[in-house]
């Protein structure tokens, strides 16, 4: 870049400088510091940590609790993400379908989006009260004769996992609907009109027009949901005793990282190693999503074959 262009773009650099500085301080440096701490035995009470190499990572992979946390995180995310995208896609198709002509689409979208405005801590506290031993759910089931006595719902593995999955789905599928509707309404109508003239069915138009043109939106939905799922913390943490009970069935990666950080000695190095593994696991999966959903240039590939 020559001096003349530098002078011409001086104000541009000045305006983006706050963002760059903030990113370096609050974004890039924490990542670097976390990776550096993961190779040490640093604690909250120690001024410095000793370099111990990969010992923290070796301990994690040998720890059944960590492997269980990884399994729980993926299980809880996948089981809430599949119905989240499926139901959101179905409702988005209905809301944008000119033949159905559903009334008050804006009202429906607002209603579905409302749970996303709630604080996760408040939602977890609400469901904890509903399914506690003396909560309304037990009262209704016992008084109605469905249960002979009150049940410890939050000590049951199936119930607690189902609650976490339902809450995660219920809070986020409304946002997914809005994003998918925005993507579908941006697709040019002449494409559908031409397909209808050619005799294409609704299923064919969805598979050949809607889905291919929604790929950029789907990549965004998949990646952001993946990042959020791998950072799942507040709902499973606050729904029980904060340790992923019962039997660690809803302990996630972030809960384990918090427990290591908040232990009696405050093992920052061990907690950082969990964060580093989650970071790399999320990054690899995000890159895989970008790879498999990328736009493939068929014309280029055909010319290359020739």
DSSP string, 173-219: HHHHHHHHHHHHHTS-HHHHHHHHHTT--HHHHIIIIIHHHTHHHHH
Rounded Cα–Cα distance for residues 147 and 145 (Å): 5
Q: What is the mean pLDDT of residues 36-45?
A: 88
Write down the pTM of the prediction: 0.85
Which of these, 222, 232, 226, lies nearest to 254 by C-alpha position?
Answer: 232
Rounded Cα–Cα distance for residues 115 and 292 (Å): 31
171-220 pLDDT per residue, tens: 999 999 999 999 999 988 888 889 888 888 888 888 899 999 999 999 99
Residue corresponding to tokens 């986020």: 172
Burial classification of residue 166, based on how many CB atoms lie within 10 Å of its CB (0-12 exposed, 13-18 middle, 19 or more buried): middle
- What pLDDT score was predicted for residue 3? 61
Q: Are the C-beta atoms of 57 and 38 separated by less than 8 Å?
A: yes
- Residue 302 clears pLDDT 50, i.e. is over it: no
87-111 pLDDT per residue, tens: 999 999 899 887 788 888 889 988 9
246-285 pLDDT per residue, tens: 778 889 999 988 888 877 677 888 899 999 999 999 999 9
**The pair of three-digit structure tokens given for residue 216, joined into one six-digit string:** 């950029």
Rounded Cα–Cα distance for residues 104 and 13 (Å): 46
- What pLDDT score was predicted for residue 247? 77
Does residue 80 sit in helix, strand or coil? helix
- Residue 303 clears pLDDT 50, i.e. is over it: no
Q: Which domains does the chain have, with CATH numbers?
A: 60-298 (1.10.3720.10)
- Residue 301 clears pLDDT 70, i.e. is over it: no
Q: Please, which pLDDT band fits residue 81 given cuts at 50, 70 and 90?
A: very high
- Residue 123 clears pLDDT 70, i.e. is over it: yes
- What pLDDT score was predicted for residue 244? 62
Rounded Cα–Cα distance for residues 8 and 255 (Å): 50
231-254 pLDDT per residue, tens: 999 899 888 866 667 778 889 999
- What pLDDT score was predicted for residue 304? 39
Residue corresponding to tokens 């509903």: 130
Which of these, 162, 182, 179, 165, lies nearest to 81 by C-alpha position?
Answer: 165
């Amino acid at each position: 870049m020559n001096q003349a262009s530098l002078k011409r773009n001086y104000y541009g650099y000045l305006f983006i400088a706050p963002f760059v500085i903030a990113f370096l301080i609050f974004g890039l440096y924490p990542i670097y510091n976390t990776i550096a701490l993961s190779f040490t035995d640093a604690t909250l009470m120690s001024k410095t940590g000793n370099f111990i190499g990969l010992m923290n990572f070796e301990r994690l992979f040998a720890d059944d609790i960590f492997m269980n946390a990884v399994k729980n995180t993926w299980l809880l995310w996948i089981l809430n993400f599949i119905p989240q995208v499926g139901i959101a896609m179905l409702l988005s198709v209905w809301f944008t379908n000119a033949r159905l002509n559903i009334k008050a689409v804006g009202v429906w979208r607002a209603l579905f989006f409302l749970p996303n405005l709630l604080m996760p801590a408040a939602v977890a506290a609400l469901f904890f009260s509903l399914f506690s031993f003396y909560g309304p759910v037990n009262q209704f089931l016992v008084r109605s004769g469905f249960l002979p006595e009150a049940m410890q719902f939050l000590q049951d593995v199936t119930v607690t996992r189902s609650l976490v999955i339902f809450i995660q789905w219920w809070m986020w599928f409304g946002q997914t609907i809005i994003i998918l509707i925005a993507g579908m309404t941006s697709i040019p109508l002449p494409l559908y009109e031409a397909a209808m003239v050619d005799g294409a069915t609704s299923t064919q138009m969805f598979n050949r027009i809607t889905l291919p043109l929604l790929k950029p939106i789907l990549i965004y939905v998949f990646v952001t949901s993946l990042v959020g799922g791998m950072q799942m913390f507040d709902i499973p943490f606050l729904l029980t005793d904060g340790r992923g009970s019962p039997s660690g069935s809803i302990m996630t990666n972030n809960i384990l990282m918090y427990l290591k950080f908040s232990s009696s000695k405050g093992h920052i190095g061990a907690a950082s190693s969990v964060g580093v593994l989650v970071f790399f696991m999320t990054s690899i999966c995000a890159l895989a999503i970008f790879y498999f959903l990328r736009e493939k240039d068929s014309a280029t590939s055909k010319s290359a074959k020739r």
